[in-house]
Amino acid sequence: MTKKYFIMICFTLFMGWSVSSYSQEIKFFEGTFEEALAKAKSESKLVFVDFYATWCGPCKQMAEKVFTDEEVGKYMNEKFVCMQINVETAGWQKETAEKFNVTVLPTLVFFKTDASVASRLAGAREKDDFLGAAKVACGEQLSFVKLYDRAKSKKDLTDMQMVLKQAPDYVGGLQGIEAQKWIVRINKLYDEYVKAKLVPDFINKADFQIVQNYSQGKKKEKDDAVMEFIAKNLETYMNKLGEAPGILMVEYNNAVIEQLARAGKDEYKKYLERINGDLEPAYAIMPTGTLTPYEKFKYYYDGMYLMSYKKDAESYVQLMNKYLAALGDKVGANDYGEIAQNMYVMSKGKLNNEQLEQVKDWLVKAMQYEGTGIIDRINFVAMLGDTYKALKQFDKAKEAYNQGYMEALQIENKMRSAQLQMIMKRKLQALELAK
């Protein structure tokens, strides 16, 4: 399969795939997609499809918590022919998933009997969101397009909020020019909405979730009006909504600092100072070991400035070793891995042997820590292989790439595992050519 599936974050145990037989839950049709469409047409119903994979934790969460709900089961069984499609089963199931651009698991699609999409959700959902999408499909609630048209014509903030909440799912089901067209429309609507709502009433869970969704896809620009509103009202946000607003502000401010440092602009220091200023409550929630948040990020971004703009690898190495010493026994795998990656990437690999040896040393130390996430370990070992290759230590490079390949085999997400295996194979092939 050429599609790439992404697991939505879920903090539940990966329990065995099962759907119990209580009468009040959703009853799933056993048959092909075409047979489900025909059955729905004969019964004057629509078709609901749960696109899933057996390894997908959020898919299991939906099966255990939503599909077994009595209200959900009653409504869905009355209005829909319901079925489940395993996106990894060869044949019509896999082909159907690809046809309808299923790239997130689970994907929950409500079809008309002509196989056109009436409503769609990407990722696990709570009961109310799921039922809302089903009712849109049945015409009991306004469709996304009609709701968008009403919001644009009336400039009603409630309608605009509903559109912005639903937009990621709707646009996620589109492709090509149609998707790009809607992205432009929704981004424009978002700008209009937040411009009208940057008042105390904007501090609520629904609007904050909208900001979270739209900030992910936008380039982090300094002095962004929405982010500055959150910063100005940070204490109120965190009192109402917990740590999430603080985390968002740390991500935003760090992104601004990094952009400026990489561009060689001294202005990055102004945003660095915010760590001890108006954003101190946000950074206070971050564990930074023996260093204060300001000290930790000053080391990190000062080093980035030296490496990216001034191309001063020697000063970078000195500063980063001082940074690692200051961390003391709180230093971890990611500390070594990140500074090695920054040095290698920002120099575009143009390092002398002494500097490459330093990168190698940091990466070897990163690999010695237990409990490191498997994706991080693969990233570290791939960089280590690249470093050995640059040092012309080809046997060690081969050993590192083979280790990365073996690590990739352990990833439960089969699509992600296959992708990383292919990357390692290509590195091994390139290594043979370089010898």
56 is catalytic: yes
Number of Cβ within 10 Å of residue 36's Cβ equals 25
Q: Active site residue: 10, 56, 82, 138, which one? A: 56
Residues 6+ apart with CB under 8 A from 70: 24, 25
Q: How far is CA 32 from the centre of its chain?
A: 32
Identify whether the C-beta of residue 245 lies closer than 8 Å to the C-beta of residue 234. yes
- Cα–Cα distance measured from residue 270 to residue 249, given in angstroms and rounded to the nearest whole number: 15
Structure tokens at 409: 């085999």
The rounded distance, in Å, linking the Cα atoms of 179 and 170 is 9
> How many angstroms separate the first and last alpha carbons of the chain?
33
* 77: amino acid identity, one letter: N
Q: Where are the alpha helices (DSSP H) in 84-204?
A: 92-99, 127-137, 144-154, 157-172, 176-197
Catalytic residue among 10, 59, 82, 138: 59
Amino acid at 269: K
Retrieve residue 363's tokens.
């990466």
Write the CB contacts of 292 (distance below 8 Å, at least 6 apart in sequence): none
Does the annotation count 59 as an active-site position? yes
Active-site amino acid positions: 56, 59
